[in-house]
Amino acid sequence: MLSATAMHADMVARSWLVWDLTGSSTSVASVLVARAIPMLILGLIGGVAADRFNRRKLLFVIQSWTLLMHAIMAAVLLAGIVEMWHVYVLAFGLGAGMAMNQPVRTSIIPNLVDKKDMVNAMSLNSIAINSTRLGGPALIALLIAATDVGWAYVWSAGAFAVVLITTSRIEFPETSDRRERPNPFNQLIEGFVYIGQNRVILALVLIGLGPLAIGFSHQTLLPQLVEEEFGAGVGLMGFLTSVGAIGGLSGGLFIASRRTVSYKGRLMLFSATSYGLALLGFAGANMLWMAFPLIIWIGISQTLFRAGNSATLMELAPDHLRGRIISATLLDTALSPAAGIAAGYAADMYGVGAGYALLSAGCLGVVVLTLLIYPKIRQL
């Protein structure tokens, strides 16, 4: 939970810092490009590493790297020498850590819970993450408003230090036999071949492009939305992010309360579609009260989708390929900046509503494309 809180702190601090330095949503999105480049490259390597090495030791190294990135950024900001290239370097470094962290951490979960409990486990994981969003971003925004952006990174670096101590004391079960280690390039190809030959897995990766790539990039528009439409600053931006966690918690509690979930395909289709419709609502949100139900619904949709999508992937993926298959879904997130750049440009040229409308069209288009390619996804 602490690591999630620290990442939320980075998201709020980085977005507002770039907006404050440039006044451009395109620039906010361009920083996400810097984060996405290592995710596209190292995400696949992270999947191989998760299937090849001790996952606890890998997590320790990854979290140490992330701590270093936050500490460096805190020092640069508090010294008053920050420039845009510092932000790009930080984003690149954090992207490298995230690319390795996600497949390793997620690959551990199926070794801890039964397959029948997978959806519930993923929803409980979402509840934990969203509980940190409930107050974290708002408090970080208040900290930034009262002091300086640098103190947000001081806090996040401290949080990762605690995470490191905790990780060093936890033993995770290792079920795969890693004594025989084939060529890592062949392992990478094996993962792609498996995904290409398995239409169900391919459809699950494809539909993730909607909420996880296109939809998620709406956060690049938040600074412009709160300043130009609502006449507010970083405090409201952090508050809106925290309000979104109410939806995330609601969605997580709904899934966790189900003994079994036998409608994961319909759950994914519904949540991905509702995500796109909520983005369309933001395109016309010119009054503050309209933003609250929309951001809550986005939180609900995102949690429902992640729970259904991740659980189905982990149920279907063999243990020796799990890390590589999960890393393929990370490519969805890595492609988010491309959508963010397009939306940011539309927002800069035609207003923030145009950016949200573009994201909505992309998210809904992915749902339609997935149904055309694999109609049986409804039956999962």
Which pTM value belongs to this model? 0.71
Lowest model confidence (mean pLDDT) among 37-41, 65-69, 75-79, 227-231: 37-41
> Are the beta carbons of 357 and 283 closer than 8 angstroms?
yes
Most confident of 80-89, 185-194, 300-309: 80-89
Inform me whether the pLDDT recorded for 158 exceeds 80. Answer: yes
Inform me whether the pLDDT recorded for 172 exceeds 90. Answer: no
- Alpha-carbon distance 237 to 247, whole Å? 16
**252 vs 132, which has greater pLDDT?**
252
List own/partner pairs for 367-372 with CB under 8 A and 24 or more apart.
Answer: 367/207, 367/210, 367/269, 367/272, 367/273, 367/276, 369/206, 370/203, 370/206, 370/207, 370/210, 371/269
pLDDT above 70: percentage of residues in the chain: 74
Give the tens place of pLDDT for each residue, 175-189. 544 445 555 566 667
Amino acid present at 90: L
What integer pLDDT is reported at residue 273 of this predicted model?
Answer: 94
Inform me whether the pLDDT recorded for 285 exceeds 60. Answer: yes
What integer pLDDT is reported at residue 377 of this predicted model?
Answer: 84
Confidence of residue 232 (pLDDT cuts 50, 70, 90): confident
- Alpha-carbon distance 243 to 350, whole Å? 27
Helix (H, G, I), strand (E, B), or coil: what is residue 148? coil
- Mean pLDDT calculated for residue range 273-300: 91
DSSP 66-119: HHHHHHHHHHHHHTT---HHHHHHHHHHHHHHHHHHHHHHHHHGGGTS-GGGHH
- Alpha-carbon distance 92 to 32, whole Å? 9
What integer pLDDT is reported at residue 354 of this predicted model?
Answer: 94
Give the tens place of pLDDT for each residue, 35-59. 878 877 776 676 667 667 677 778 7
**172 vs 268, which has greater pLDDT?**
268
Q: Which residues contact 52 (CB under 8 A, 6 or more apart)?
A: 178, 181, 184, 187
Inform me whether the pLDDT recorded for 168 exceeds 80. Answer: no
Instruction: Find where tokens 């890693």 sit.
Output: 178
What integer pLDDT is reported at residue 201 of this predicted model?
Answer: 83
Most confident of 155-164, 180-189, 345-354: 345-354
DSSP 298-327: HHHHHHHHHHHHHHHHHHHS-GGGHHHHHH
- Mean pLDDT calculated for residue range 77-94: 90
Strands (E), 235-319: none
Inform me whether the pLDDT recorded for 228 exceeds 50. Answer: yes
Of 240, 224, 2, whose CA–CA distance to 138 is shortest? 240
What integer pLDDT is reported at residue 179 of this predicted model?
Answer: 46
- Alpha-carbon distance 330 to 245, whole Å? 22
Inform me whether the pLDDT recorded for 151 exceeds 80. Answer: yes
Helix (H, G, I), strand (E, B), or coil: what is residue 130? helix
> Are the beta carbons of 279 and 346 closer than 8 angstroms?
no
Side-chain half-sphere of 200: how many Cα atoms within 13 Å?
14
Q: Indicate the DSSP class of residue 257.
A: T
Q: Which residues contact 349 (CB under 8 A, 6 or more apart)?
A: none
Domains of the chain (ranges, CATH numbers): 2-379 (1.20.1250.20)
CA 23 centroid distance within chain: 24
Give the tens place of pLDDT for each residue, 250-268. 777 776 666 566 677 888 8
- Alpha-carbon distance 167 to 64, whole Å? 10
Determine the length of the chain.
Answer: 380
Confidence of residue 282 (pLDDT cuts 50, 70, 90): very high
- Alpha-carbon distance 301 to 308, whole Å? 11
Inform me whether the pLDDT recorded for 322 exceeds 60. Answer: yes
State in Å, rounded, how far the first CA of the chain is from the last one: 30
Amino acid present at 91: A
pLDDT above 90: percentage of residues in the chain: 16
What integer pLDDT is reported at residue 99 of this predicted model?
Answer: 75
Q: How far is CA 47 from CA 11, 170, 260, 320, 322, in A?
A: 24, 21, 28, 10, 8
> Are the beta carbons of 15 and 217 closer than 8 angstroms?
no
What integer pLDDT is reported at residue 44 of this predicted model?
Answer: 65
> Are the beta carbons of 191 and 321 closer than 8 angstroms?
yes
Give the tens place of pLDDT for each residue, 19-28. 888 888 888 8
Average pLDDT, the chain: 79
Give the tens place of pLDDT for each residue, 308-321. 887 787 777 776 67
